[in-house]
Amino acid sequence: MSSSQCLCGLFITTIQGSFGDVRYCHCSKCRRKTGTAFTANAKVDISQWTIEGPEEHITEFEHAPGLYNAFCSRCGSPLYARSDADPSDIRIRIGGFEGDLDVSITGHVWVSFKAIWYSIEDSIPQYRQRFDDSE
Ligand SMILES: [Zn+2]
Ligand SMILES: [Zn+2]
């Protein structure tokens, strides 16, 4: 089990078990959402995920039809992403989680949209776009 809190502390997210398949996403949307070169995203079975905090402070933004990014309306931290087409999974960014994390990074995805100022220096496989499912 591992937990993360948003910057202001209103929300605590907890994941049971492993993060499983984690990707570094370089797409232009992830770069805009975070202001960073890429995001570290995990796809987690919704039964393994809990979020504690005041629901009225969760803002969901529909960035494409049926695809939502949720953030804390007080501090702006990302809380989760979800898809109407895939209600059994939740996507989370793993950067705020603490402790011994069971994480395996399976790829850099959307490398064709990578920030020009960032160079990938590791040996993790790179994919020009996604490799098996949607962002
Ligand atoms: Zn917050
Ligand atoms: Zn992305």
pLDDT tens for 19-70 read 878 999 999 999 999 999 999 999 999 999 999 999 999 999 999 999 999 9
Confidence of residue 131 (pLDDT cuts 50, 70, 90): low
124 part of a folded domain: no
Residue 132 has pLDDT above 80, yes or no: no
* CATH label of the domain that carries residue 55: 2.170.150.70
Instruction: Say if 135 falls within a structural domain.
Output: no
Residue 80 belongs to a domain: yes
Tell how far the Cα of 26 is from the centroid of ligand 2, in angstroms: 6
Residue 42 is assigned to a structural domain of this protein: yes
Burial (CB count within 10 angstroms: exposed 0-12, middle 13-18, buried 19+), residue 25: buried
Q: Which ligand is nearest to the CA of 25?
A: 2
Strands 12-15 and 49-52: antiparallel
| Domain annotation covers residue 78 | yes
pLDDT of res. 50: 96
Structural domain that includes position 85: 2-25+38-107
- Distance from residue 130's CA to the centre of ligand 2 (Å): 9
Say if 125 falls within a structural domain: no
Task: Report whether 47 contacts 89 (CB < 8 A).
Answer: no
User: Is 101 a domain residue?
Assistant: yes
Three-state DSSP state, 93: strand
- β-pairing, 20-25 vs 103-109, is parallel
pTM of the model: 0.88
